[in-house]
């Protein structure tokens, strides 16, 4: 499953750490393991015109693993109408006695028999039921759209991961219980496009139902229940029948009239599947692969085997409307779901405790696999920005580890977070580099072959990687399992403190400590850390394997480095492949700042980004004086690559928050404009036909910094472009600059601009355009319009879809300090209503995590205390975790003002005082020169 909110927030809430006695406390949520299914025969009667309930029948072939008189499975939000149970020994005698369906969140359906079942002797269970359509898009649910000339049209689709298969039919709804699924769907003739995981079958056996068309489908391969999927619709499609790039039938389904927007998904999806098959050396198992774009979908997409369901914005590309960023996200999401065909579908986690075995690999390969097809997009360069972003989520004491025991549905959904996705992907990227790419790939090939169609735990992965390592010439000082144990079972990550022993020494000392944003907190966790280095005398950044290893709970490591005494500077962690930060001795920080200013291209661009990000975050947490970070940043006036500017943009975003409203803020804004001035002149508002893919992202950063921080030309140009668009709406702006242009036009509080963009949102049927407009409308500085916009979250007649409503609050939080204050007051007042109105089970967590990045003052802390006392009884697990993150980050930001503000202000004062002196000196020299010329 791809969580779309991760694109902008780099993570949903971090799951609540559980007590050490979790198994005793929560073990009753797990199925008892006394039986298992081998075959489901699911029959569903689905009429999208009937939006409250659907009818179903399921026949399950079950093997008791012990002698027992009870079978336990799971069912949710349904009425059981009848149950029959037969043994294979006596298939005509119904031995069912009674059932109970739990009213709590275990959702256990207990079937009692009239006689004891014998271990390993199969039984058949028939259950007839009526189930409710899900109102939160988890389970089977109804989605709607407006079709021109027709009006509102309904469809039914599904999202069963992680614990909502039980909402579609009674089942063993845990990933380790795999079986074959046989599906039949009855649908009215008005909904002719009916799809599930497999193609339709020709050997029909199910009875007809008057008024419905019957669709019988082929049996699936052995799979987990959460991977089943359904679509009942009037959709159209495009296919690869006429131009087969990938030799499996490949279709993209979407609303009627939108088939022209599916071309990119059809082309890239096939080429990506080819690349992934070649990499894994493992054929895709099913006879077809469908991609479906639905209007309402809680996640970004879901990897149902053979029928991958996407939110429209995550699959469809509208030329001239879809931004470069959205197009890249679509490719990444397609690759993410494609990779799940292997990591998640072929090989599943034994439980959601090991969600990272699915999502971590999908996260890493969504980038690595996209780069295999589109190397010019530089996705793996961009991955460093993702690593730096997830550091922010992972730098709190309350964060959960990658392997994290979860039991309740609330805990399970909470584990689909930044740790399961970006942190796990980043750790897997580190593993690829310390194993070497060749050993890593061979290990994954062995892993897939050894564990196909089974459920696994991390040791299964380590066994295969160790086998590949042992078969190679590469060596590690520790077993793979030993190295990975702490990375997966401990939260957080280390910061390395590195010091040159003496000016003429040939060795450095390296120590590790857990990195936490709140400097008042500490932790004893340590890791096996791979280390490598580069010297200024030989700046070769290519070999990213480990040259030394730090061990946990060991003294500082002394490393001899030949030639170190001749080097002006050194860098640890080539291309930032290791998942950690690095803090140097002050002499080396000065040398790095000087090297960047004199010849920055000598240093690898990913390490330039690392130096910027590490220095500002180390300064933020009191580990480094801010003057060093600001000295490092001075080189950016000469930096032309997007990646280091991506790091700088995040650093400046935090300074924008903590300096806003202070005496230092005007100098900060001037400094940002000064550093970005050459790029502003070069990139401007107009894209060139031959420019690099990432230039669109770079332009957005530069324009946003300039328009946001008072570049009059930028603001005026944006106003002119918006006015031109208003005068001629058919003449679209470049989609990549629309958010900057629209925001600039709204920051002045203009009512007409807001109303124009709001009406355009209401009229649009394109999800890409809607996303741009929704994020832009939050920029209004008009308090009445801002309140109107925020109230769309709880307005029962709003045109904003449920899946998008949390974006209103998140965008307002990020729009400006005033917007953030208004959003905080709004959430404090309306949280109980917001919970029921935003996206599924994760929207409120997204909102709270946005606050965690921007709240900074004691007044904010008091409001959060009020918020917690008012709503703590209704918080979900992920919301509780997000509140913990807010409090830790708030404590850090409050300390920042006390510890760092004066240093930052003094640096800016000195910088501009010296600049003024330099300008004055230049002016005096120029006047003297003129006087000399005149006198001659």
User: What residues act catalytically?
Assistant: 337
| Whole-angstrom distance, CA of residue 512 vs CA of residue 499 | 12
Helix 751-763 with 738-746: angle, nearest 10 deg: 140
Contact (Cβ atoms closer than 8 angstroms) between residue 908 and residue 667: yes
| Residue 503: Cβ within 10 Å count | 7
| Whole-angstrom distance, CA of residue 837 vs CA of residue 528 | 44
Strands 151-159 and 529-531: unpaired
For residue 92, give Cα distances in angstroms to 62, 87, 206.
Answer: 17, 8, 20
Q: Is 693 annotated as a binding residue?
A: no
- Burial of 53-82, coded b for 16+ CB within 10 Å and e otherwise, reads bbbbbbbbbbebeeebebbbbbbbbbebee
Q: CB-based burial of residue 399 (10 Å sphere; 0-12 exposed, 13-18 middle, 19+ buried)? A: buried
Residue 523 forms beta bridges with which residues? Answer: none
| Whole-angstrom distance, CA of residue 532 vs CA of residue 553 | 20
**R_g over Cα of the chain:** 29
Q: Is 359 annotated as a binding residue?
A: yes
DSSP single-letter state for residue 287: S
For residue 162, give Cα distances in angstroms to 53, 353, 410, 478, 876.
Answer: 21, 12, 10, 35, 16
Q: Is 860 annotated as a binding residue?
A: no
| Whole-angstrom distance, CA of residue 794 vs CA of residue 44 | 34
Q: How far is CA 599 from the centre of its chain?
A: 35
Ordered alpha helix ranges (H), 639-750: 642-659, 665-683, 695-708, 712-727, 738-746
| Residue 898: Cβ within 10 Å count | 8
Place of tokens 């953030």: 820
Q: What phi, psi does 737 have (nearest 5°)?
A: -105, 5
Q: Per the omega criterion (within 30 degrees of 0), is the bond before 337 cis?
A: no
| Whole-angstrom distance, CA of residue 407 vs CA of residue 30 | 7
Residue 531 forms beta bridges with which residues? Answer: 548
Place of tokens 């124009």: 756
Of 926, 397, 380, 850, nearest to 657 by C-alpha is: 850
| Whole-angstrom distance, CA of residue 223 vs CA of residue 346 | 8
- Burial of 249-269, coded b for 16+ CB within 10 Å and e otherwise, reads ebbbbbbbebbebbebbbebb
| Token duo for residue 582 | 């690095």
Residue 154 forms beta bridges with which residues? Answer: 144
The answer for residues whose C-beta is within 8 angstroms of residue 50's C-beta and 6 or more apart is: none
DSSP states along 392-433: HHHSSTTPPPSS----SHHHHHHTSSTIIIIIHHHHHHHHHH
DSSP 3-state of 124 = strand
Contact (Cβ atoms closer than 8 angstroms) between residue 214 and residue 208: yes
Q: How far is CA 798 from the centre of its chain?
A: 27
Residue numbering of the annotated binding site for Zn(2+)? 336, 340, 359
Which segments are annotated as binding site?
336, 340, 359
């Amino acid at each position: 499953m791809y969580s779309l909110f991760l694109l902008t927030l780099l993570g949903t809430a971090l799951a609540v750490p559980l007590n050490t006695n979790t198994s005793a406390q929560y073990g009753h949520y797990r199925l008892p393991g006394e039986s298992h299914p081998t075959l489901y025969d699911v029959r569903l009667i689905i009429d999208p015109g009937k939006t409250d309930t659907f009818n179903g029948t399921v026949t399950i072939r079950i093997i008791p693993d012990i002698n027992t008189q009870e079978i336990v499975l799971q069912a949710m939000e349904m009425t059981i109408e009848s149950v029959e149970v037969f043994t294979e020994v006596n298939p005509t005698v119904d031995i069912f006695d009674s059932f109970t369906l739990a009213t709590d969140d275990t959702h256990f359906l207990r079937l009692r028999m009239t006689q004891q079942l014998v271990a390993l002797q199969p039984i058949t269970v028939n259950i007839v039921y009526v189930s409710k359509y899900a109102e939160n898009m988890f389970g089977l649910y109804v989605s709607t759209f407006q079709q021109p000339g027709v009006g509102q049209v309904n469809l039914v689709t599904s999202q069963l991961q992680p614990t909502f298969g039980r909402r579609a039919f009674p089942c063993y709804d845990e990933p380790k219980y795999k079986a074959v699924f046989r599906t039949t769907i009855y649908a009215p003739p008005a909904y002719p496009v009916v799809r599930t995981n497999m193609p339709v079958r020709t050997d029909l056996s199910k009875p007809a139902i008057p008024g419905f068309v019957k669709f019988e489908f082929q049996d699936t391969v052995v799979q987990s229940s959460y991977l089943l999927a359904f679509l009942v619709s009037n959709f159209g499609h495009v296919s690869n029948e006429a131009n087969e790039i990938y030799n499996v039938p490949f279709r993209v389904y979407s609303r009627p009239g939108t088939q022209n927007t599916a071309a990119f998904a059809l082309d890239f999806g096939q080429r990506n599947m080819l690349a992934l098959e070649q990499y894994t050396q493992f054929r895709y198992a099913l006879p077809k692969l469908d991609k479906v774009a639905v209007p309402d979908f809680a996640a970004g997409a879901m990897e149902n085997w053979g029928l991958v369901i996407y939110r429209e914005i995550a699959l469809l590309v509208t030329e001239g409307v879809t931004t470069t960023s959205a197009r890249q996200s679509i490719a990444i999401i397609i690759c993410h779901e494609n990779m799940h065909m292997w990591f998640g579908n072929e090989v599943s986690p034994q439980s959601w405790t090991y969600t990272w075995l699915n999502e971590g690999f999908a996260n890493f390969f969504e980038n690595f696999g996209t780069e295999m097809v589109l190397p010019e997009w530089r996705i793996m360069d961009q991955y460093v920005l993702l690593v730096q972003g997830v550091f922010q989520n992972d730098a709190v004491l309350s964060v959960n580890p990658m392997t994290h025991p979860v039991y309740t549905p609330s805990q399970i959904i909470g584990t689909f977070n930044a740790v399961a996705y970006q942190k796990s992907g980043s750790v897997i990227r580190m593993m690829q580099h310390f194993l070497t790419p060749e050993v890593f790939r061979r290990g994954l090939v062995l892993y897939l072959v050894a564990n196909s169609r089974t459920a696994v735990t991390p040791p299964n992965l380590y066994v295969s990687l160790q086998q590949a390592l042992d078969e190679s010439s590469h060596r590690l000082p520790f077993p793979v399992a030993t190295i990975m144990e702490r990375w997966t079972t401990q939260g957080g990550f280390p910061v390395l403190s590195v010091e040159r022993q003496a000016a003429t020494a040939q060795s450095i000392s390296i120590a590790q400590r857990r990195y936490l944003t709140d400097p008042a907190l500490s932790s004893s966790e340590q890791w096996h850390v791979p280390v490598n280095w580069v010297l200024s005398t030989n700046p070769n950044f290519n070999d990213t394997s480990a040259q030394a290893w730090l061990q946990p709970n060991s003294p500082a490591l002394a490393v001899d480095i030949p030639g170190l005494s001749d080097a002006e500077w050194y860098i640890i962690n080539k291309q930032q492949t290791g998942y950690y930060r690095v803090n140097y001795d002050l002499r080396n920080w000065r040398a790095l700042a000087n090297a960047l200013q004199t010849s920055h291209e000598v240093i690898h661009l990913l390490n330039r980004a690392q130096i910027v990000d590490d220095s500002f975050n180390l300064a933020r947490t009191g580990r480094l004086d801010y003057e060093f970070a600001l000295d490092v940043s001075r080189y950016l006036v000469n930096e032309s690559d997007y990646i280091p500017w991506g790091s700088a943009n995040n650093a400046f975003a935090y300074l924008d928050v903590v300096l806003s409203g202070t005496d230092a803020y005007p100098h900060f804004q001037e400094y940002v404009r000064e550093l970005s001035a050459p790029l502003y002149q070069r990139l401007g508002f107009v894209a060139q036909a031959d420019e690099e893919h990432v230039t669109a992202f770079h332009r957005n950063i530069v324009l946003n910094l300039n328009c946001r921080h008072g570049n009059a030309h930028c603001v005026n140009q944006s106003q002119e472009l918006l006015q031109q668009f208003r005068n001629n709406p058919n003449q679209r702006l470049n989609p990549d600059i629309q958010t900057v242009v629209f925001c600039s036009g709204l920051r002045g509080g203009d009512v007409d601009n807001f109303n124009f963009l709001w009406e355009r949102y209401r009229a649009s049927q394109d999800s890409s355009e809607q996303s741009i407009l929704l994020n832009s409308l939050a920029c209004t500085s008009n308090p009445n319009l801002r309140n109107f916009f925020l109230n769309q979250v709880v307005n029962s007649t709003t045109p904003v879809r449920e899946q998008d409503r949390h974006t209103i609050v998140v965008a307002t939080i990020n729009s400006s300090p005033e917007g953030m204050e208004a959003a905080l007051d709004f959430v404090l007042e309306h949280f109980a209503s917001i919970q029921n109105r935003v996206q599924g089970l994760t929207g409120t967590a997204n909102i709270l995590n946005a606050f965690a990045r921007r709240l900074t003052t004691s007044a904010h802390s008091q409001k959060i205390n009020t918020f917690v006392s008012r709503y703590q009884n209704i918080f979900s697990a992920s919301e509780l975790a997000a509140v913990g993150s807010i409090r830790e980050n708030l404590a850090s930001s409050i300390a920042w003002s006390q510890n760092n503000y004066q240093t930052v202000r003094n640096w800016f004062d000195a910088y501009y005082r010296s600049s003024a002196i330099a300008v004055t000196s230049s002016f005096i020299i120029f006047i003297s020169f003129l006087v000399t010329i005149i006198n001659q």
